[in-house]
A and B are shown apart, each in its own frame.
Chain A
Amino acid sequence: MLVLRGPNGAGKTSLLRLIAGLAEPAGGTLAFEEASLPADTLLGEHVHFIAHQDAIKLHLSVEENLSFWSGFFGGGDVAGAMTAMNLDALGQFQAQRLSAGQKRRLGLARLALVEKPVWLLDEPTVGLDTASQKLLAKMMTRHLDGGGIIIASTHIDLPVKSSDVLDFARLADRAG
């Protein structure tokens, strides 16, 4: 697991989007395990990307939102994903009636829906209460134990072991 730190606007989100293949570098190349990737490699389908937007439809219920993504990804564990983020009691609620934190949990439940080796998390804890942060940390630990990769930008310390930290502020100091 790699934690990205740095002030607002330092480029944490841009780096995550570059890795996901949602943006193209202005210069330089993206290297994976020290082997430079060919230009057309798409990491995309092996990546769970949690951005600032939760990618949920407000007019669908919690369960329908997850069923859609599970169908889209070709099969997933809707019930398991709801339990992982403690959404069981909210299944029939329309997403527009959820609070900001509950919407965030619904967005994060996608991580448990389908297995993907790489998780790119952009400020995943925004809006989450302490209990939900623990649920997220549990999910992340399980993913890491299973050999998965996580790159997350976050301002608070998640109780997840083995973190390498890439500090953008310190990088800038060294460069300047």
Chain B
Amino acid sequence: MRSAFTSVVVRDFSLAIRQGGSIGTAIGFFLTVIVLLPLGLGPDQQLLQRIAPGALWIALLLSVLLSADRLYQTDHDDGSLEIMALSSTPLEVVVLAKASVHWLTSGLPLAIAAPVFGFLLNLDAALIVPLGIAMVTGSLALSLLASLGAAITVGLRQGGLLVSLLVLPLYVPVMIFGVLASSGAQSGIDNSGTALIILVAIVLAALVVTPFASAAALRSYMR
């Protein structure tokens, strides 16, 4: 079962690298949003500093969503998904492997790039580390929830919009606590530690629930 997990991870990761599209698109989109924001809002440095964590989180969320609908699409189209369903490996393991690769190729690189891009928004230097930690953690939940949306819409031609609508409500708590955890002290009270703990709790809950839910969705589609 472990070898099946690593096989899927290795295959999908090398596919993502070779096709090149997914990582580049995610980072490019992320950078576009961050570059456009100060141009649209004007050069008020105080304002930018105040909204920087929130703006970075919104950009992260949208970039992760961008590639979400394709998570199972190719495997479904070329028949691999059915063959994987016909094995002793539970579909849950496949789901977990594919969500991990999605995280490795969208959430993780973005979370690493975000503090750097944050300079464009005059991000407070003291927030770089907490923002990085919150984003690396939170993006894991984003990828797991995206895999659920992608699994539900796997057979649909234009599933992208539906994925966004399905997943968006689930993304709200991740973003609220993610922003809190990366905003540091506000009006003298620092809740970021508590928020980070809640964020980790959300990730753990998603880790337990989404593989089963996604696998069930894939199975019910194939039947």
Contacts and interface: CB of A to CB of B under 8 A. Distances in A.
Contacts of A68: 7-8, 10-11
Contacts of A69: 83
Interface string A103-125: 00000001000000000000000
B81 to A, nearest CB: 8
B186 interface: no
B222 interface: yes
B86 interface: yes
Given A53-B78, A56-B78, A57-B78, A20 B86 contact: yes
Contacts of B80: 55-57
A22 B6 contact: no
B223 A24 contact: yes
A52 B86 CA distance: 16
A22 B8 CA distance: 21
A44 interface: yes
B11 A60 contact: yes
Which of B1, B3, B80, B223 has the largest number of chain A CB atoms within 10 A? B80
Contacts of B18: 59-60
A71 B89 CA distance: 11
A10 interface: no
A51 B86 contact: no
B190 interface: no
Contacts of B85: 22, 44
A44 B15 contact: no
Contact of B86 (A44, A60, A74): A44
Interface of B: 1, 3-4, 6-8, 10-11, 14-15, 18-19, 74, 77-80, 82-89, 222-223
26 contacts: A22-B82, A22-B222, A44-B86, A47-B86, A49-B86, A51-B82, A53-B77, A55-B79, A55-B82, A56-B78, A56-B80, A60-B11, A60-B14, A60-B15, A64-B11, A68-B10, A69-B83, A71-B7, A72-B3, A72-B4, A72-B7, A72-B8, A72-B84, A72-B89, A73-B4, A74-B4
